[in-house]
Amino acid sequence: MKKSSILLVVGMGLLCACCSMEKHETYAGKVELKPLKGERYLPEEEFTYPQSLLFADDCLVVEDSRDERGMLAIVNLDGADSTTRACRMGIGPGEFMNIREVRYSPTDSTLSIYDGAMGRVRLYHFDKGNRSLLPENMISEISTYDFKPVPRDILSLSGGFASDVVSGGKMFVRYDADGKMQECFGDYPGDRSGMADSLAFAMGHQVMMAANPLGDRMVVAGRMSDWLAFYHMTPDGMKLEKEYFSFETVPEVSTTVNGNTELVSCEDKPDTRTCFTSLAATDSHVYCFYHGSTAQERADRTAAQVSIMKFTWTGDFVEAYTVGDWVVSIAVSPDEKYMIAIVVEDNDELSLMRYEL
22-37 per-position pLDDT tens digit: 322 222 234 678 999 9
Beta bridge pairs of residue 281: 286
Domain membership of residue 339 (yes or no) is no
Same domain, 192 and 83: no
Are residues 231 and 302 both part of a single domain?
yes
- Other residues' Cβ atoms within 10 Å of the Cβ of residue 143: 12
What is the share, in percent, of the chain residues with pLDDT greater than 90? 57
Regarding predicted confidence, which is higher, 215 or 268? 215
- As a whole-number percent, the residues of the chain with pLDDT over 70 amount to 90
Q: What is the mean pLDDT of residues 286-291?
A: 94
Nearest by Cα to 70 from 100, 56, 54, 50: 50
User: Does residue 10 lie within any of the structural domains?
Assistant: no
Note whether residue 259 is domain-resident. yes
Same domain assignment for residues 191 and 271: yes
Q: pLDDT value at position 347?
A: 86
Residues 131 and 159 in one domain: no
Look up the domain containing 109 and give its range: 46-146
Tell me, yes or no, whether 137 and 171 share the same domain: no
Write down the pLDDT at residue 20.
39
Q: Which residue has the higher pLDDT, 229 or 254?
A: 229
Identify whether residues 72 and 103 lie together within a single domain: yes
Structurally, the chain folds into a number of domains equal to 2
Spatial neighbors of 94 by CB under 8 A, at least 6 apart, are 87, 88, 133, 134, 135, 138
Q: 103: pLDDT confidence band, cut at 50, 70 and 90?
A: very high
Residues 51 and 102 in one domain: yes
> Does residue 202 contact residue 222 with C-beta atoms inside 8 Å?
no
Which of these, 169, 166, 311, lies nearest to 244 by C-alpha position?
311
pLDDT tens digits along 249-260: 988 888 888 887
Residue 135 has pLDDT above 90, yes or no: no
330 vs 12, residue with greater confidence: 330
| Burial label, 1 (beta-carbon count in 10 A; 0-12, 13-18, 19+) | exposed
Strand, helix or coil for residue 54: strand
Does residue 231 sit in the same domain as residue 105? no
My answer on whether 299 and 170 are in the same domain is yes
Q: Are residues 193 and 106 in the same domain?
A: no
pLDDT tens profile 144-192? 999 999 998 899 999 999 999 998 899 999 999 999 999 999 999 999 9
- Quickly state the pLDDT bin for 16 (edges 50, 70, 90): very low
The whole-model pTM stands at 0.89
Q: What is the mean pLDDT of residues 229-251?
A: 94
